Amino acid sequence: MKPRLALGLLVPLALVTARAGAANEFSLNRFEPTPLVNDWLRVERPTGLPHLGWGAVVTGDWGHKPLVLMRTGADGKKETVRDVVSEQVFVTPGVAFGLFNRLTVHAAVPIVAYQKAESYSTSPGVADPKSTVMGDVRFGARLRIIGKSEAARGTEAPDLLSLAIGAYVWAPTGDQRSWASDGTWRAQPTAILEIAPSRKVYITGNLGFMFRPQRDVLGSETGVEGFMSLAGGVKLMNEKLRVGAEVIGGTGLRDSTLFKLTTSPAEGLLSATYAFSNGLYASLGGGTGFSYAAGTPAARAVLRIGWASPWPEVKKPAPPPPVDDDKDKDTIDDVHDACPLQPGPHSADPDSNGCPDSDKDGIADKIDACPNEPGPDSADHKTRGCPPPPPPPDKDKDGIFDAQDACPDVAGAFNEDPKLNGCPPDKDKDGVLDDQDACPTDPGPATTDPKTNGCPVKTKFAEVKGSTIIILDKINFANDSDKIIGAKSFQVLDSVFEILDKTKSVKKVRIEGHTDNKGKADHNKDLSKRRAQAVKDYLVKKGIDAGRLDAEGFGQDKPIADNKTEAGRAKNRRVEFVIADQ
């Protein structure tokens, strides 16, 4: 087992069942999200909010196996006893408020949105941990001492060194028995330091102490802790995207907890934060734990969305007034005139501002490939400012150029088949176009008679309707056999053959055999399959390609009449022809 995959609560299993009923649990989650959206996910930065500015943030984090009970086996190896808390999902909304451009106060309400936890005690009166509970409400403040706030610098280079101090205080509002509270007040003062060797590179460190009550449960001790965290990263995409890594570690400060794997939490995160316009930020991160300490998960994922009041824009000093000199008298002074000796209109492009534009297309003659013919702008200098070439001919105006149009004189629709592209549609796909098809929704062969061209073949005992070949009389079989009997049956089959032989557009027909409910279902299904196959064999013998026919038996599964009467059972004993592809 990897060290980060389990909490090293190396105690005998007997301690579990002998635990006292008094609440001794503690707040398990080690991930305390930072209060500002432009912080790191877990590491605070010495930035802040402008005076009377505010921010809001919602952070969701998932921890996998943050509390796993282990013991040492007879062979000396560590083995898992049980997952006390195997999954934990926190949703933490928070707000922040800025004062005097240096002080930021904030509050957050952690909520255990979901956790998969089980009772670790058999003592009466001890409740199982709840899956959804409230955590300890957190209040805090941050005071920037050295360095300008990042957002307040404008275009200035960043300060090499920035320093702030901060503090958190937790109120005991959570459910202690569900690993969401220490059951009493706790506090954490922090020193915050950041080094910015360049405008795009930031290295941030936090150093502080956590004052919390002493707890000893399942072999894990808590109490006063020291912690240190470090984050570093770079800004990309015009400083809108920051990617980096965070490492968070700490240890208990008593002799029994100092630098012990079970009391020294440590984990790492990779994170990315994107700054949208108007103060909106979104962050995504994930990582893993490196120790056995309670609250250090095997894996963690974090998503944060929030907003913060933008700092007032730093105003640039006004440029000196230009020298009043306009040689070509086009009202554009020579300092900003790209063609100071030739009069021309104003342009937003400084390279063509004040240059002549003979064809009035907004593109100066000096960069216009066709200066006497108006045309659109183009990235290709050979066609910039030139009129577009005429479109290829399309006589029938159907949007398909004549060179690709199989029916250039008749408006049609696009078709992947080059032989049909640009031709009128053929809904029934019988090869007769709809504008010439007397039956455009039912497939049929082409004829010289406009009244029957493309209409289904009608025979004495069968006809096509929609996607079915309807037979007008029954196909009979010997009792409990697939042998076709009766002259009328073969006349019906010959009619089906005639339709298939003349309607080549019908590519696939499914012959379906059905029975009534007399007899066993498995036998009926086999019988119906054999009868369908007998029909197929007859049609193939007559000359229909076997690839155009499928035979399937459904037995008694699809009745069309009541099997309680002889008349209904007779209707259910049938063969159907379904057009599967045309």
**pLDDT, tens digit, 9 for 90 and up, residues 201-250:** 989 999 999 999 888 766 667 888 999 999 999 999 988 999 999 999 99
* Pairwise pLDDT comparison (24 vs 130), residue with the higher score: 130
Does residue 459 carry a pLDDT above 70?
yes
**pLDDT tens column, 242-272:** 999 999 999 988 887 788 877 889 999 999 9
Phi/psi for 500 (5° steps) reads -65, -35
With 60 as the cut, is the pLDDT of residue 499 above it? Answer: yes
pLDDT at 386 over 80: yes
Quote the CA–CA distance of 493 and 577 in Å, as a whole number: 11
Cα four-point dihedral sign 210, 28, 60, 237: positive
Q: Per the structure block, which two tokens stand in for 466?
A: 């929609």
Cα(436)–Cα(309) distance, rounded to whole angstroms? 69
* Per-residue 3-state assignment (H helix, E strand, C coil) for 162-185: EEEEEEEEECCCCCHHHCCCCCCC
Q: Which helix (H) or strand (E) holds 273?
A: strand 266-275
Q: Has residue 153 got a pLDDT over 70?
A: no
What's the pLDDT at 423? Answer: 81
- The larger pLDDT score, comparing residue 144 to residue 177, is at 144
Higher pLDDT, 295 or 158: 295
Least confidently predicted of 23-37, 362-376, 442-456, 483-497: 442-456
pLDDT at 12: 32
Residue 345: helix, strand or coil by DSSP?
coil
Q: How large a percentage of the chain has pLDDT more than 90?
A: 43
- Which of the listed ranges 11-15, 109-113, 337-341, 457-461 does the model predict with the highest average pLDDT? 109-113
510 and 580 in contact (C-beta within 8 Å)? yes
Task: Calculate ∠ Cα 270-275-281, nearest 5°.
Answer: 80
What's the confidence (pLDDT) of residue 433?
Answer: 79
- Alpha carbon distance 400, 365 (integer Å): 36
pLDDT at 322 over 50: yes
What is the pLDDT, as a whole number, of residue 374? Answer: 87
Residues 330-365: tens digit of each pLDDT: 888 888 888 887 888 888 888 788 888 888 888 888
Query: Mean pLDDT throughout 301-309?
Result: 95
Closest CA to 110 of 64, 184, 59, 37: 59
Mean per-residue pLDDT, 547-570: 92
- Averaged over 150-166, what is the pLDDT? 75
Q: Extract the tokens encoding 548.
A: 């155009």
Which residue has better confidence, 73 or 343?
Answer: 343
Q: What pLDDT does 119 receive?
A: 61
pLDDT at 318: 72
Helix (H, G, I), strand (E, B) or coil at 386: coil
What pLDDT shows up at residue 15? 32
376, pLDDT greater than 50: yes
**Candidate from 274-278, 414-418, 549-553 with smallest mean pLDDT:** 414-418
> Residue 155 — pLDDT band, cuts 50, 70, 90?
low
Cα(304)–Cα(138) distance, integer angstroms = 17
Name which of 60-69, 272-281, 435-444 the model is least confident about: 435-444
Q: What is the pLDDT of residue 465?
A: 84
Q: What domains are defined for the chain?
A: 3-308 (2.40.160.40), 462-581 (3.30.1330.60)
Report which of residues 21 and 579 the model is more confident about.
579
Q: Is the pLDDT of residue 19 over 80?
A: no
What pLDDT score does 317 carry? 67
Mean pLDDT of all residues in 452-458:
78
104-131 tens-digit pLDDT: 999 999 999 998 876 654 334 344 678 8
pLDDT at residue 315, as a whole number = 65
Q: What is the pLDDT of residue 520?
A: 93
How are beta strands 220-222 and 215-217 bridged, if at all?
Answer: antiparallel
Rounded CA gap, 31 and 20, in Å? 28
Residue 324 has pLDDT above 60, yes or no: no
